[in-house]
Amino acid sequence: MAYSFPEEVLEHVFSFLSSDKDRNAVSLVCKSWYEIERWCRRRIFVGNCYAVSPEIVIRRFPEVRAVEIKGKPHFADFNLVPEEWGGYVYPWIVAMSAAYPLLEEIKLKRMVVTDESLELISKSFKNFKVLVLSSCEGFTTDGLASIAANCRNLRELDLRESDVEDLSGHWLSHFPDNYTSLVSLNMSCLGSEVSFSALERLVARSPNLRTLRLNRAVPLEKLPNLIRRAPQLVEFGTGAYSAEIRSDILSNLAEAFSGCKQLKGLSGFWDVVPSYLPAMYSVCSGITSLNLSYATIQSPDLVKLVSQCKNLQRLWVLDYIEDSGLEALAASCKDLQELRVFPSDPFGAEPNVSLTEQGLVSVSAGCPKLRSVLYFCRQMSNVALIAIARNRPEMIRFRLCIIEPRAPDYLTLEPLDTGFGAIVENCKQLRRLSLSGLLTDRVFKYIGTHAKKLEMLSIAFAGDSDLGLHHVLSGCESLRKLEIRDCPFGDKALLANAAKLETMRSLWMSSCSVSFGACKLLGQKMPRLNVEVIDERDPPDSRPESCPVERLYVYRTVAGRRVDMPHFVYTMDEDAALRFS
């Protein structure tokens, strides 16, 4: 039966399948489809670099052109994962340099990337086009120089939010004079000044340049030189948006911006001097994405800018916008889909701005397309959460951070269980949820009962007992990633739901009540999980088995225990009983 359909035809049909889910499904139909599919899969996504080994990937998929790999758990962003935990990309690069000479794309997130790795990339893949390093670390600007010098076909170099050791700005000058294929450059995380003339020449000889995100060191008065040379820009990130106030700078800038008819996204805006904001007004009507999360300007200036962006779909902003500004946003930007409000003074004892739950309620009421929210604030109430839930039942991502841990409903002093309960009950498509405030086991019962599409859940300082964790693990059918800190969750819920952990990508628990004994047991019973105890004190066996571990990271894997663990990471497996007795 398989012979009636030529392989080439099947391959051609499969080439229209881009989603991994579809390709995985196709490969399970029968052996011959598995074979055909694996030879024509070009893109690989590895959500956890330790879930599989480079050798396994290469053996199954010999013709890959694009690789995306993620390393450290999400809580590493907040310094909860000790340095040296892992996530090294070098072994992957070595293996791929031999197996995938035609590799074009590497996208990494939260991985440790060395200059050595970058140099190997630059020399191994002749047709290398795309390098995205998101929240990575371990490399210097020397590594970037290798990429610039050797990757003749590079299209994209995106360093978003990586921690780069910035030795100098000289790396940019390593792009050869005959290099003209740049499409996207994001160097916003770098500190050093690059040679402006080198940057200017680079922009001038890159006719396909669509995305340019500068770093803070690029001065405002020089922006027109760049923008004029790239009127085809779609996304632009400024440097420091300040200069002494001169009308010629302003008019120069305004004229340059007005030439960018395709501009859709703006970012940067460090050190904003409000007088220069009007330079952008001419492009506002086309703007769909605006990142003002570094712009330390007051609400009236923010409102003036934002209310001109009638087509705005995504806004990142500091809480300087205040409730009044969010109300204005709700009135002007009816296409808004994503809102992120960051705190300007997260560690201040008193609120420094008038931003409360009211702002979020206004936006939820006024913006019918709102689906994705990240909101930092200092007070919340159940009635507000219920209102938000009812206003926006199509919400997909809801991440709320009430700055004070365990803060109750400020009106009633009750837990926020009913409020979050309303969110999960009304928003049936919810895929990501972050909780905060005072919460009992009850909220987890609501989540387990209603959040059937939930894929990622972040919990901090919440719950009363194991029952809370049990509700989540037993009820959330779509759960892939669960991260928990400082909650009284312990052994019972974990062991009772051990099988669930194989259906998830990972579980992170830190400062909870999971005992070393339970971790050992879990590791012994579940050979297809890596159960990592991450504990920087004396080895865990120097304490009673009932002592809780500092951190626990559990993830499914087909690669077995990893071999690059630092001394403070202990993998629990069948041998653990022998090693720790």
Partner 1 sequence: MSMPQEHDYIGLNEPLPMEKKPSSENEKNNVLNLKETELRLGLPGSGNGISLFGKDLKDEGNNGISQCPLKSFVSGAKRGFCDAIDSSGKWGFGGCEVDLARGAKSNNILQSCVKSSLKEICDGSPVKPVEEKKNENGNNAPASKAQVIGWPPIRSFRKNSLGNNVWKDGDGGGSSGCLYVKVSMDGAPYLRKIDLKTYSTYAQLSSALEKMFSCFTIGQYGHGLSRQEHLSESRLTDLLHGSEYVLTYEDKDGDWMLVGDVPWEMFADSCKRLRIMKSSDAIGLAPRTMQKCKSQN
- Would you say 139 and 115 are in contact if contact means Cβ atoms under 8 Å apart? yes
What residues numbered 160-219 form the site for partner 1, per CB under 8 A?
Answer: 161, 163, 189, 216
Contact call for residue 237 and partner 1 (CB under 8 A): no
CB of 166 to partner 1, least distance (A): 11
Residue 258 or 524 with smaller CB distance to partner 1: 524
Q: What is the DSSP letter of 512?
A: S
Contact residues for 146 (Cβ-Cβ < 8 A; gap 6+)? 115, 118, 119, 122, 123, 174
Residue 20 or 464 with smaller CB distance to partner 1: 464
- Helix (H), strand (E) counts: the chain: 20, 23
CB of 118 to partner 1, least distance (A): 20
Contact call for residue 252 and partner 1 (CB under 8 A): no
Contact residues for 127 (Cβ-Cβ < 8 A; gap 6+)? 102, 103, 104, 153
Contact call for residue 324 and partner 1 (CB under 8 A): no
Query: Per CB under 8 A, which region of 45-53, 221-229, 252-260, 381-389 contacts partner 1?
Result: 381-389
CB of 333 to partner 1, least distance (A): 23
Residue in 225, 332, 465, 524 binding partner 1, rule: CB under 8 A:
465
Contact call for residue 553 and partner 1 (CB under 8 A): no
Contact call for residue 80 and partner 1 (CB under 8 A): yes
- How many other C-beta atoms are found inside a 10 Å radius of the C-beta of residue 575? 12
| Kind and range of the H or E run holding 105 | strand 105-109
Copy the structure tokens of residue 103: 């590799």
Copy the structure tokens of residue 364: 């939820």
Cα three-residue angle 209-213-216, rounded to 5 degrees: 145
> What is the rounded CA–CA span in Å between residue 36 and residue 409?
57
Collapsing DSSP states into helix, strand and coil, what is residue 504?
Answer: coil
Copy the structure tokens of residue 64: 């890959």
Residue 234 or 424 with smaller CB distance to partner 1: 424
Contact call for residue 538 and partner 1 (CB under 8 A): yes
Query: What is the bridge-based pairing of β-strands 235-237 and 265-267?
Result: parallel
Contact call for residue 345 and partner 1 (CB under 8 A): yes
If DSSP states are collapsed to H, E and C, what string results for 109-158? ECCECCHHHHHHHHHHCCCCCEEEEECCEEEEHHHHHHHHHHCCCCCEEE
Residue 224 or 343 with smaller CB distance to partner 1: 343
Residue 67 or 385 with smaller CB distance to partner 1: 385
Residue 37 or 338 with smaller CB distance to partner 1: 338
> What is the rounded CA–CA span in Å between residue 222 and residue 243?
10
Plot region of 512 (φ>0 → left; ψ -120 to 50 → alpha; else → beta): beta
Collapsing DSSP states into helix, strand and coil, what is residue 536?
Answer: coil
Residue 333 or 389 with smaller CB distance to partner 1: 389
Cα three-residue angle 198-202-207, rounded to 5 degrees: 165
Contact call for residue 71 and partner 1 (CB under 8 A): no
Contact call for residue 342 and partner 1 (CB under 8 A): yes
Contact call for residue 343 and partner 1 (CB under 8 A): yes
Interface with partner 1: number of residues (CB under 8 A): 93
Q: Could you give the count of Cα atoms lying within 13 Å of 547 in the half-sphere of its Cβ?
A: 13
CB of 530 to partner 1, least distance (A): 20
CB of 59 to partner 1, least distance (A): 34
State residue 181 phi and psi, 5-degree precision. Answer: -100, 10
Residue 66 or 217 with smaller CB distance to partner 1: 217
Query: Per CB under 8 A, which region of 28-36, 91-99, 219-227, 487-495 contacts partner 1?
Result: 487-495
Contact call for residue 62 and partner 1 (CB under 8 A): no
Contact call for residue 536 and partner 1 (CB under 8 A): yes
Contact call for residue 412 and partner 1 (CB under 8 A): yes
Copy the structure tokens of residue 53: 């080994």
Rg of the chain in Å (alpha carbons): 25
Binding to partner 1 by CB under 8 A, coded x per residue (else -) over 128-167, reads: -------x-------------------------x-x----
CB of 84 to partner 1, least distance (A): 5
Contact call for residue 307 and partner 1 (CB under 8 A): no
Binding to partner 1 by CB under 8 A, coded x per residue (else -) over 493-532, reads: ------------------x-x-x-xx--------------
Contact call for residue 68 and partner 1 (CB under 8 A): no
DSSP string, 36-69: HHHHH--EEEESSTTTS-HHHHHHH-TT--EEEE
Q: Which amino acid is at 46?
A: V
Residue in 5, 566, 574, 575 binding partner 1, rule: CB under 8 A:
566
Residue in 88, 171, 276, 294 binding partner 1, rule: CB under 8 A:
294
Residue in 79, 178, 247, 581 binding partner 1, rule: CB under 8 A:
79
Residue 129 or 216 with smaller CB distance to partner 1: 216
Contact call for residue 422 and partner 1 (CB under 8 A): yes
Residue in 371, 548, 554, 572 binding partner 1, rule: CB under 8 A:
548
> What is the rounded CA–CA span in Å between residue 64 and residue 497?
36
